[in-house]
Amino acid sequence: MLFTEKMISLRNANVNDIALVVGFDRRLNEEEHVNQDREAKINKAVLDHHCSIILASNIPVGFVIFDYGFFDQGWIELLVIEEAYRGKGIGVHTLDLICEKSLTKKVFTSTNRSNLIMQKALSKAGFTFAGELI
């Protein structure tokens, strides 16, 4: 099932959502979650109101951490969608929502060279490649 733009929404995460968000992240990559101390990052993002729950037809399917910490421009630090919901248009619609709500004209993000799914979603959402760190 593909999700339409109207079926996707964001809501601010609160302290009651921390376990949900941590679970999404841990299931994505347990090793990265632990080695990069992402639980602490998630806790801080929720407390700083920089974390949103991604809802597809009102069902929590992932989260996004977004702030203005990249040279005062919009910055998507992390976008995670539960595996069962990937490839259904949710990522593209989430990116569109973030850009619409951003207080800046430019929104930046970064992804690994190996993350072809995210690269495809970024391209569909109109993001352009700006450079590569070696």
Query: Each residue of 13-70: pLDDT tens digit?
Result: 999 999 999 999 999 888 887 888 999 999 999 999 999 999 999 999 999 999 999 9
Q: What gap in Å lies between CA 81 and CA 47, rounded to an integer?
A: 21
The reported pLDDT for the residue numbered 1 is: 81
Q: What angle do CA 48, 54, 55 make, to 5 degrees?
A: 135
Q: What gap in Å lies between CA 81 and CA 76, rounded to an integer?
A: 14
Give the pTM.
Answer: 0.91
Q: Which amino acid is at 123?
A: S
What is the homologous superfamily of the domain 5-124 according to CATH? Gcn5-related N-acetyltransferase (GNAT) (3.40.630.30)
Task: Report the 10 Å Cβ neighbour count for 68.
Answer: 14
More confident residue, 42 or 117: 42
Quote the distance between the C-alpha of residue 28 and its chain's center: 12
